[in-house]
Amino acid sequence: MSEQRDTAPAAKPVVPVVLLALAAAGLWACSRLTWVTVRSADGLTEPRTDELNGGVWFGALTPLALVLVAAIAAVFAVKGPLRQLLGVVVAVVAAVAAVPGFALTVGAGEPAERAGSLAELPGRAVVTGAQTHLFPAILSIVAAALALAAGVLLTRRTGGGAQLSDKYDNPVFRRADASAQVSNQHGGSTGAAPLSERVLWDALDAGTDPTDTPAEPRGPDEPGKRGQ
């Protein structure tokens, strides 16, 4: 037997990680782009123009992007039910991130009034116009959709495959199964496939010697069975 044991490569959640990275980058870009341009006048000075970026229009964009970045690291740190819970959290973050972009796209609320408040205009100033920019709003919706897809993928877990994976990853179950396979082979099963090196090592860890074979029974006429 070789000194090196066989190891099975663990499945990596590549697709959710890529989706999370794209979503985080999208939300961060949205926080830097101009969402609304507001024009105002107070009757005393020159008309004023303020450009409100995503970080001002919806202050949670950057923190939500950071949450998605943290989720990427968490994906590799947890598995099983904890990874499913992480998927739920990511889905909630995606829903929250989509709200401001969707509202601006459909024209919900009072963009001009909100823009005047966020621009911190003087009390006597009056908003004369507010221009909304749809590209960053739509980009935020796309980023939120990517995060939602990542969350859904993280919450999905096939029952049979997960159980087999958990059993394989658990050394107690793995060693017990290896010991049983070696014992069955010693039992004289004909046509049995040769055991893998990983199984042989696990059987040794369980205290079962794969090289130990049972003594063959002697026939009634063999010497030593009866005194001759």
Q: Is the pLDDT of residue 164 over 60?
A: no
> What's 223's DSSP letter?
B
Q: Which pLDDT score, from 0 to 100, does residue 15 have?
A: 94
pLDDT tens profile 55-113: 999 999 999 999 999 999 999 999 889 999 999 999 999 999 999 999 999 887 788 88
pTM for this predicted structure:
0.64
In percent, how much of the chain has pLDDT > 70?
A: 64
Average pLDDT of the chain? 78
Q: Which pLDDT score, from 0 to 100, does residue 9 have?
A: 43
Q: Tell me if 154 sits within 8 A of 83, measured CB to CB.
A: yes
Q: What is the DSSP string of 120-168?
A: T--TT-EEEEEEE-HHHHHHHHHHHHHHHHHHHHHH---HHHHHHHHHH
pLDDT tens profile 12-61: 789 999 999 999 999 999 999 999 998 988 777 788 888 999 999 999 99
